[in-house]
């Protein structure tokens, strides 16, 4: 994404800087699929600084309506925050040819990946000049460094391992496999490794790539018969950072290509760093030989942040925005928002926007007003993620075990308790709960719900435990 290469100049707001910033923010807030579908096709059609107006174009009526309905508030909020004054924001249908072409070009790719059919003829428009190009940039975001990464119990191992690898790439921990839930700092940490190495050794060939982008690079290389170039590029890196590798699931052609790249890189003593939402053995739809490679170096988890760390993150980020937040306000916010760092950042953005507009100090009352919607949602509904975290904490197991397929009793039982609580405390259906527990069948959830419900009625100890967990969830 372009914002990774050219971070906006924060001190001089300008429309293009805003656009990069906004797209970058949405890229980290949405799933890659959502981002690709809704945000990527948008263009900044025009802007007028004196009129304080920006116009965003969408490629078709359907997307236009949807963007207006779903994202206009978010864009407005980001624009107002970025420029520091209210901006008039319009959405129109763009007749941008480039956008239309991008969409046509992406169609064969989906077909290829879903059916694993390799196109035999190159795209008719592909000529020598338009041959497959790999942009020769690291794609590192310079803002994601170790300095801006707050440490706590939840991530200290991951950070220590990352520092170690950044200092001695290609030697001890190769590959390094970093896993954990969304918004916990995986992407941040691997950029930090890349940035560190780049500083130490500016000539190092470093590449950050999201797994989904790698998949489409493989497809493009195929369509344009440019595999040699593709291979030369990937096999010659010093450091490959590949993010969210679970996106390789079911894409066997991509996996095969990656396997070769991986072998080549390791034999060159180049460092490979991989992130995923779960640990290697739990990954579904990934070839066994890749899984065993992933597991052959160092595998390290990153866990949801504990209270003190959430407080530290809020205070540090507020300070870096030039609006200090006192510890009691940070505690107030951190107590209410527990799931991940991305959520905390969203809350902080809301508070800062409110404070800037109304010229207020950051107090608990201000935070409460600014986060009114967020907090009422949190209070009304307890999320399945929060239940998983609370139960895992209580029984001292990893949150990742909630979605894992492992079945030892010390894990299986807390997992059943969490499923039972998810049914009791949320509005989710059995299949939805199954999905959130690593794609389990609804009958598995039903079994857990009945079993725990039954036991609870005559097991005082279990009843107490569930009660305590419920209290932590509601406090
Ligand atoms: P993941 O890749 O695990 O989904 P990210 O690395 O994208 O999560 O983190 C989400 C957001 O939270 C990013 O803006 C990131 O900079 C920030 N973040 C995550 N962990 C930390 C941390 N320990 N200190 C500071 N910022 C963090
Ligand atoms: Mg990430």
Hey, which residues does 210 pair with through a beta bridge? 243
List the alpha helices (DSSP H) in 176-287: 186-200, 211-223, 227-235, 252-267
Q: How many CB atoms lie within 10 A of CB 283?
A: 20
Q: Report the pLDDT value the prediction gives residue 110, as an integer from 0 to 100.
A: 36
Q: Report the pLDDT value the prediction gives residue 379, as an integer from 0 to 100.
A: 59
Name every residue whose Cβ is closer than 8 Å to that of residue 439 and which is 6 or more positions away in sequence.
284, 403
Q: Is-same-fold flag (15-104; 138-301)?
A: no
Residue 151 CA: nearest ligand 1 atom is 23
Q: Report the pLDDT value the prediction gives residue 461, as an integer from 0 to 100.
A: 82
Blockwise average pLDDT, block size 10, the chain, 475 residues: 39 74 83 82 76 79 80 84 78 56 38 38 38 70 95 94 96 93 94 96 95 92 89 94 96 95 96 94 92 95 91 96 95 88 93 92 94 73 90 94 87 96 87 94 94 87 84 76
Name every residue whose Cβ is closer than 8 Å to that of residue 100 and which is 6 or more positions away in sequence.
59
Q: What three-state secondary structure class fits 298? A: strand
* Cα separation, 211 vs 205, whole angstroms: 18
Place of tokens 């029984």: 395
pLDDT digits (tens, 9 = 90+) for 172-184: 899 999 999 889 9
Q: How many CB atoms lie within 10 A of CB 221?
A: 21
Dist. CA 28 → ligand 1 center (Å): 9
Q: Report the pLDDT value the prediction gives residue 116, as an integer from 0 to 100.
A: 35
Q: Report the pLDDT value the prediction gives residue 132, as an integer from 0 to 100.
A: 53
Ligand 1 pocket test: which of 154, 183, 320 has the largest number of ligand atoms within 8 Å of its C-beta? 183
Dist. CA 68 → ligand 1 center (Å): 28
Residue 159 CA: nearest ligand 1 atom is 23
Tokens of 147: 């300095």
Is the shortest distance between the CB of 347 and ligand 1 below 6 Å? no
Ligand 1 pocket test: which of 342, 343, 348 has the largest number of ligand atoms within 8 Å of its C-beta? 342
CATH code at 15-104: 3.30.300.180
Q: How many CB atoms lie within 10 A of CB 203?
A: 6
> Exposure of 143 by Cβ count < 10 A (0-12 exposed, 13-18 middle, 19+ buried)?
middle
Predicted TM-score of the model (pTM): 0.62
Q: Chain-centre distance of CA 414, in angstroms?
A: 26
Is the shortest distance between the CB of 159 and ligand 1 below 6 Å? no
Ligand 1 pocket test: which of 177, 188, 347 has the largest number of ligand atoms within 8 Å of its C-beta? 188
CATH code at 384-474: 1.10.1750.10
Atom 25 of ligand 1: nearest residue by CA position: 149
Contact 83, 48 (CB under 8 A): no
Highest CATH level, class, for 138-301: alpha beta
* Per-domain boundaries in the chain: 15-104, 138-301, 307-381, 384-474
Q: Report the pLDDT value the prediction gives residue 377, as an integer from 0 to 100.
A: 60
Residue 316 CA: nearest ligand 1 atom is 25
* Cα separation, 42 vs 99, whole angstroms: 8
CATH code at 307-381: 1.10.8.60
pLDDT digits (tens, 9 = 90+) for 214-248: 999 999 998 888 889 999 999 999 999 999 999 99
Dist. CA 275 → ligand 2 center (Å): 8
């Amino acid at each position: 994404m372009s914002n990774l290469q050219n971070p906006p100049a924060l001190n001089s707001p300008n429309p293009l800087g805003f656009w990069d910033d906004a797209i970058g923010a949405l890229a980290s807030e949405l799933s890659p699929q959502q981002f690709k579908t809704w945000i990527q096709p948008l263009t900044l059609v025009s802007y007028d600084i004196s009129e304080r107006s920006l116009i965003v174009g969408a490629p078709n009526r359907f997307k236009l309506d949807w963007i207006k309905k779903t994202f206009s508030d978010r864009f407005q909020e980001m624009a107002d925050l970025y420029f520091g004054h209210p901006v008039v924001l319009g959405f129109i249908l763009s007749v941008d040819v480039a956008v239309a072409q991008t969409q046509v070009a992406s169609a064969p790719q989906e077909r290829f990946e879903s059916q694993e059919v390799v196109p035999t003829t190159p795209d008719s428009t592909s000529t020598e000049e338009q041959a497959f190009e790999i942009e020769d940039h690291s794609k590192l975001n310079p803002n994601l460094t170790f300095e801006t990464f707050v440490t706590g119990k939840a991530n200290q191992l991951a950070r220590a391992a990352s520092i170690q690898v950044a200092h001695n790439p290609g030697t001890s921990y190769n590959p390094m496999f970093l896993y954990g839930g969304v918004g916990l700092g995986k992407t941040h940490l691997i950029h930090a490794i890349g940035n560190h190495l780049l500083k130490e050794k500016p000539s190092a060939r470093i590449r950050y790539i999201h797994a989904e982008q790698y998949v489409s690079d493989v497809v493009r290389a195929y369509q344009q018969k440019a595999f040699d170039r593709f291979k030369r590029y990937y096999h010659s890196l010093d450091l490959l950072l590949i993010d969210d590798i679970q996106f390789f699931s079911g894409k066997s052609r991509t996996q095969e290509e990656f396997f070769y790249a991986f072998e080549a890189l390791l034999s060159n003593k180049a460092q490979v760093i991989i992130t995923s939402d779960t640990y290697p053995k739990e990954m579904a739809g990934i070839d066994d030989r890749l899984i065993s490679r992933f597991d052959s170096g160092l595998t390290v988890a990153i866990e949801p942040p504990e209270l003190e760390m959430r407080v530290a993150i809020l205070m540090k980020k507020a300070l870096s925005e030039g609006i200090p937040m006192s510890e009691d306000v940070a505690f107030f916010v951190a107590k209410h928002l527990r799931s991940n760092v991305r959520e905390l950042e969203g809350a902080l953005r809301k508070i800062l926007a409110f404070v800037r507009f109304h010229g207020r100090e950051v107090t608990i009352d201000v935070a409460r007003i600014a986060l009114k919607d967020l907090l009422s949602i949190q209070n009304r509904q307890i999320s399945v993620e929060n239940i998983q975290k609370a139960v895992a904490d209580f029984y001292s197991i990893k949150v990742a075990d909630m979605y894992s397929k492992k079945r030892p009793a010390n894990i299986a039982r807390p997992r059943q308790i969490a499923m039972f609580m998810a049914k009791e405390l949320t509005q989710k259906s059995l299949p939805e709960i199954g999905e959130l527990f690593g794609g389990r069948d609804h009958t598995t959830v039903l079994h857990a719900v009945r079993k725990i419900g039954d036991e609870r009625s005559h097991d005082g100890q279990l009843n107490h435990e569930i009660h305590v967990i419920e209290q932590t969830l509601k406090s």
